[in-house]
Chain A
Amino acid sequence: MGDLLSLFVNSVFIGNILLAYFLGICSFIAVSKTIETATGLGFAVIFVLTVTSPVNWLIYHGLLAPGALAWAGFPEMDLSFLKFITFIAVIAAIVQAVEMVIDRYSPLLYASLGVFLPLIAVNCAILGTSLFMVERNHTFIESVVFGAGSGTGWMLAIVSMAAIRKKVRYADVPAGLDGFGFIMIIAGLMAMTFMMFSGITL
């Protein structure tokens, strides 16, 4: 239990998927204009990550990993090179399902997230988490915790960014640095703040 808690805290703060591994920056910048949409997208990402990470774990360890097809009489088979295309297909399908659910139950959220929902499918944080999960040899339970933790970390980062952008809306930024450049500097400062967490163990 302690290991799982430690893994969760680690993926939220120390190895924050956004500020330490730079995954999901495109939507981080595009959707952090208001706190409401940032929160909505944050929850969508947590949900999608918590579902896709274990589903991809099952598919990888049941079908693709070296020797996984031994039950079917192919103990020599190694299909792990197919993981990219399989993972992205699973993610796209699950995102499509989430989109339909949100459209049905929360038209307001659907209207404000607009074009960004389909973009969750190509959000590198989602695919990145599944690939990290394979690379770090997580167990099934760990993959659920890791997915939820990464999603929470991503949401924490994007909601903080939306809040900071609200505060600096009327700041007097030098011409040219306005916009994207300024956001990157803020993100850099946030990443420095998150580095303080490194070294914390539970």
Chain B
Amino acid sequence: MHIDLSHYKEILIKGVWRENPVAYQVLGICSALAVTVKMSTALVMSIALTLVAAFSGLIISSLRHWIPSNIRIIVELTVIASLVIVTDQILKAFLYDISKQLSIFVGLIITNCIILGRAEAFAMANNPADSFVDGIANGLGYSMILVAVAFLRELLGSGQFFGFSVIPQFLYDMGFQDMGIMVLAPGAFFIIGLLVWLKNSLPGVSHEKK
């Protein structure tokens, strides 16, 4: 079987950059805002979401000829919810502390618009391998934004990177202070807004229509 790699590359670039789910399609930002106080939670959440997106794409696409179209949402949700249960159990078993910090947001992967959106828009119309790659691409696109936001919030809000202090002490001695607002809810909104502005100002990005 001939595998056309450039085709997969195309899907990847589309998901990660040109049609980035968070910044361009405005999907799945609920969790992008909530779990980005620290790098560690953001990273675990990114990995969990990417895996769920990839495997739900694979499974739903394999089943697409047998799913009756008027109950497809329920079927898609069932597949996604089962995958999320597996993810949640794995996190509880191996990363208990982080799973406590993520609290309900692992469960909310079910209602993350990226996963259902890709299942509806892509997996129902394409073959399993393409859908798997598309899930990974969109998961990576989401992870990129998540990690960027978490990096800025952790750095500006508590002067840390993965829990290690990175701002040198002499800066604090000179009067530098952590920006408390970054740890709180408004900081997340501001950072996402500014990141979208930055992204729209870069070349090669399709602008969203007003």
Tell me which of A20, A21, A84, A191 contacts B110 (CB under 8 A): A84
Q: Could you tell me if B85 and A85 are in contact, using CB atoms closer than 8 angstroms?
A: yes
Q: Could you tell me if A188 and B30 are in contact, using CB atoms closer than 8 angstroms?
A: no
A181 CB–B CB distance under 8 Å: yes
Q: Could you tell me if B107 and A22 are in contact, using CB atoms closer than 8 angstroms?
A: no
A101 CB–B CB distance under 8 Å: no
Tell me which of B84, B113, B197 contacts A122 (CB under 8 A): B113
Q: How far is the CA of A25 from the CA of B30 in the complex (A)?
A: 6
Q: How far is the CA of A30 from the CA of B73 in the complex (A)?
A: 20
Q: How far is the CA of A187 from the CA of B104 in the complex (A)?
A: 22
Given A84-B88, A85-B81, decide whether A181 and B26 contact each other with a Cβ distance below 8 A.
no
Chain A positions within 8 Å of B192 at CB level: 181, 184
A65 CB–B CB distance under 8 Å: no
Tell me which of B29, B88, B208 contacts A81 (CB under 8 A): B88
- Which residue of chain B has its CB nearest to the CB of A183? B193
- Which residue of chain A has its CB nearest to the CB of B80? A88
Q: Could you tell me if A92 and B189 are in contact, using CB atoms closer than 8 angstroms?
A: no
- Which residue of chain A has its CB nearest to the CB of B76? A122
Q: Could you tell me if B73 and A127 are in contact, using CB atoms closer than 8 angstroms?
A: no
Chain A positions within 8 Å of B63 at CB level: none
Q: Could you tell me if B108 and A26 are in contact, using CB atoms closer than 8 angstroms?
A: no
Contact-residue size bin, chain B (C-beta under 8 Å from the other chain): 35 or more
Q: How far is the CA of A168 from the CA of B118 in the complex (A)?
A: 33
Q: How far is the CA of A107 from the CA of B197 in the complex (A)?
A: 38
Chain B positions within 8 Å of A31 at CB level: none
Question: Please, what's the 1-or-0 string for B164-194, where 1 marks a CB less than 8 Å from any CB in chain A?
Answer: 0000000000000000010011111110111
Q: Could you tell me if A181 and B196 are in contact, using CB atoms closer than 8 angstroms?
A: yes
Could you tell me the distance in whole angstroms from the C-beta of A131 to the nearest C-beta in chain B? 4
Given A84-B107, A85-B82, decide whether A178 and B77 contact each other with a Cβ distance below 8 A.
no
Q: How far is the CA of A131 from the CA of B106 in the complex (A)?
A: 11
Given A19-B185, A176-B200, A181-B194, decide whether A92 and B113 contact each other with a Cβ distance below 8 A.
no
A124 CB–B CB distance under 8 Å: yes
Contact-residue size bin, chain A (C-beta under 8 Å from the other chain): 35 or more
Interface of A is mostly: helix
Residues of A within 8 A of B (CB): 19-26, 29-30, 81-85, 88-89, 92, 118, 121-124, 126-128, 131-132, 135, 174-185, 187-189, 191-192, 195
B201 CB–A CB distance under 8 Å: yes
Tell me which of A118, A178, A189 contacts B186 (CB under 8 A): A189
B206 CB–A CB distance under 8 Å: no
B103 CB–A CB distance under 8 Å: yes
Summed over the interface, the residue pairs from A and B with CB atoms below 8 Å come to a total of 133
Given A25-B30, A122-B116, decide whether A180 and B196 contact each other with a Cβ distance below 8 A.
yes
Q: How far is the CA of A59 from the CA of B12 in the complex (A)?
A: 41
Given A84-B110, A92-B77, A178-B210, decide whether A132 and B104 contact each other with a Cβ distance below 8 A.
yes
Q: How far is the CA of A131 from the CA of B34 in the complex (A)?
A: 15
Q: Could you tell me if B26 and A29 are in contact, using CB atoms closer than 8 angstroms?
A: yes
Given A81-B85, A84-B84, decide whether A122 and B111 contact each other with a Cβ distance below 8 A.
yes
B27 CB–A CB distance under 8 Å: yes
Given A25-B30, A122-B113, A128-B108, decide whether A92 and B73 contact each other with a Cβ distance below 8 A.
yes
Could you tell me the distance in whole angstroms from the C-beta of B170 to the nearest C-beta in chain A? 31
Chain B positions within 8 Å of A181 at CB level: 192-197, 200
- Which residue of chain A has its CB nearest to the CB of B86? A81
Q: Could you tell me if B201 and A92 are in contact, using CB atoms closer than 8 angstroms?
A: no
Q: Could you tell me if B78 and A123 are in contact, using CB atoms closer than 8 angstroms?
A: no
Could you tell me the distance in whole angstroms from the C-beta of A24 to the nearest C-beta in chain B? 7
The CB with the most chain A CB atoms within 10 A, among B78, B104, B184, is that of B104
Could you tell me the distance in whole angstroms from the C-beta of A151 to the nearest C-beta in chain B? 16
Q: How far is the CA of A26 from the CA of B23 in the complex (A)?
A: 12
